[in-house]
Amino acid sequence: MQRKRIENIPETITREISEKIIRNELKPGERIYEAKIAEELGVSRSPVREALRILEKNRLVELIPRKGARVAEISSAHIEWFYDVFEALYGLAARKVTEKAGEQDRADLGAALEKIEAAASAKDVEKYYEGIFEFAAIGMRAAANPLLAQILMDLWPSNRRIQYATISRRKDTLEENAGFFRKIYELLDSPDEVEAEAAVRAYARNEKQVALEMIYGKKRENDRDGNTKS
């Protein structure tokens, strides 16, 4: 008997609004009214309120007490802030994975990588995103740090939002990007966790660069990048 996980009402509402923000149907700065959402979905305001708190955790909305909810802004500064944190935390995750991952984890990561590469060569963006999500999720499990996992999972929707904004250009760079994952995968097996961390950090910096150039033109040169390759 399939004990299907029943989705909460707040989770459903969260997903609903989440998608709209990621797809930019709800614009940055736009007000979100509890009563309006509640009526649209035929529920009371209580679960809507809870959904808005979850969306705040996901950094998709900003809540101001007694003033309400707005769709979170997104600027070049936001993108830098996001990827700097992303780099630090996924770097840590990579180091932990090389230290702790077992056979099963490595096999699962390999399977996810295949999915990523298949999607990349087929230029299937949806499948590609599914793949990197799986890769990340398996990595979280293997890193064996639930606190880290939860922080990163809370941040994932913001990641998707930024990626979505750059989706048109991304179709061309899918295979190049998949290359990062292969490299990461191979280094996760190495005995040197520093190299694995470096690979993930390089990926994060690349994502940041792509997003910034994509959205705000290429107004930033890498003066002193410090990218030491040995």
Partner DNA sequence: AAATTGCACATTGTCGACAATCGACATTAA
Partner DNA sequence: TTAATGTCGATTGTCGACAATGTGCAATTT
In the complex with DNA, the residue whose CB is nearer, 10 or 139, is: 10
7 binds DNA (CB under 7 A): no
147 binds a copy of itself (CB under 8 A): yes
43 binds DNA (CB under 7 A): yes
The sheet with strand 61-64 has its strands ordered as 31-32, 68-71, 61-64
Provide the token pair at 43: 């529920």
The CA distance from 60 to 78, in Å, is 12
Minimum CB distance to DNA, residue 55 (Å): 13
Alpha helices in 42-102 (DSSP H): 45-57, 76-100
What is the amino acid identity at position 153?
Answer: M
Contact 32, 61 (CB under 8 A): yes
8 binds DNA (CB under 7 A): yes
In the complex with a copy of itself, the residue whose CB is nearer, 34 or 50, is: 50
Q: Which does 34 bind (CB under 5 to 8 A by kind): a copy of itself, DNA, none?
A: DNA
| Radius of gyration of the CA atoms of the chain, in A | 19
113 binds DNA (CB under 7 A): no
55 binds a copy of itself (CB under 8 A): no
In the complex with DNA, the residue whose CB is nearer, 72 or 165, is: 72
Please compute, for residue 105, the number of CA atoms within 13 A of its CA located in the half-sphere on the CB side.
20
Q: Which of residues 64-123 bind a copy of itself (CB under 8 A)?
A: 65, 78, 80-82, 84-85, 87-89, 91-92, 96
